[in-house]
Amino acid sequence: MNELTVLQRIAVWILPVIFAITVHEVAHGWVAKKYGDNTASLLGRLTLNPIKHVDLFGTIIIPGLLLITGTGFIFGWAKPVPVDARNFKNPRRDMAIVALAGPISNVLMAIGWALVARVGVSIHAQTEAIALPLIYTGIAGISINLVLALINLLPIPPLDGSRVLTGILPDYWAWQYNRLERFGFVILLVLLYTKALNMLLAYPMFIAQQAFFSIAGLN
């Protein structure tokens, strides 16, 4: 997408980013409700209205800076949907399932955006003016959702992957492991700043993108 202007890149990425971040959080709350926790529902967070989920830093500033600087690596986050594990019958197991709901929603959205891109590919010869926005937006949707799914599966507290690992570890080790949560954001920033995050995710991202680009008819 380097051939696009900054304004064109913003137009292409804005909807995929907002939906990827918003639906990810709603998925956590929706699954939590299915397992007995109505906290998110009672607070009005089971809505696709992005205003309810926007985090100024994570939803606007970080994705915006990454987009404008053309790093090729875009991610962000919304305000976490509140979940009270005390309402679950099996707190550790159910919390792990709730955590997985976020990345799974991103994978499903990536499939949806791949189909949007495929529509663009199929009509490209007839109407390029409509096809190109569909293709570019589909590529953006695939990319942001795969990035969010992969990042959130990292076992760094409080990312979703850490909740899954907590559900597997023995009680004592789970408690010790979750003490790292206060350093989680700093760890993530260091990985991003040193480009270690790019190197860590580059290969799985490449493999996943190739699979979804195949669905989109872009390979």
What does the pLDDT look like over 94-125, one tens digit per residue?
999 999 999 999 999 999 999 999 999 999 98
Higher pLDDT, 14 or 101: 101
Supply the pLDDT for residue 5: 79
- 1 within some domain: no
Mean pLDDT lowest among 5-9, 135-139, 162-166: 5-9
Q: Which of 146, 145, 144, 163 is nearest to 155 (CA)?
A: 163
Counting the structural domains of the chain, the total is 1
pLDDT band at 76 (very low <50, low <70, confident <90, very high): confident
DSSP letter assigned to residue 61: I
The verdict on whether omega for the bond into residue 158 sits within 30 degrees of 0, i.e. cis, is yes
Tokens at residue 197, please? 């995050």
Q: How far apart are CA 27 and CA 136, in angstroms?
A: 26
- 108 within some domain: yes
Average pLDDT, the chain: 90
Higher pLDDT, 3 or 70: 3
Tokens at residue 12, please? 């292409």
Q: Is residue 70 pLDDT above 70, yes or no?
A: no
Which member of 3, 25, 128, 181 is catalytic?
25
**Which single residue is written with the structure tokens 């979940």?**
83
Q: How far apart are CA 75 and CA 82, in angstroms?
A: 21
**pLDDT tens by residue, 38-67:** 999 999 999 999 888 888 887 888 787 777
pLDDT band at 11 (very low <50, low <70, confident <90, very high): confident
The backbone torsions φ and ψ at residue 75, rounded to the nearest 5 degrees and listed phi first, read -150, 175
Cβ neighbours of residue 150 closer than 8 Å, sequence gap 6 or more: 103, 201, 204, 205, 208
The pTM score is 0.90
Is there a catalytic annotation at residue 128? no
CA dihedral 178, 82, 146, 133 (to 10 degrees): -160
Supply the pLDDT for residue 59: 82
Mean pLDDT lowest among 68-77, 106-115, 117-126, 180-189: 68-77
- 88 within some domain: yes
Supply the pLDDT for residue 65: 79
- 27 within some domain: yes
Tokens at residue 54, please? 């926007």
> Which range of residues forms the domain containing residue 58?
6-216
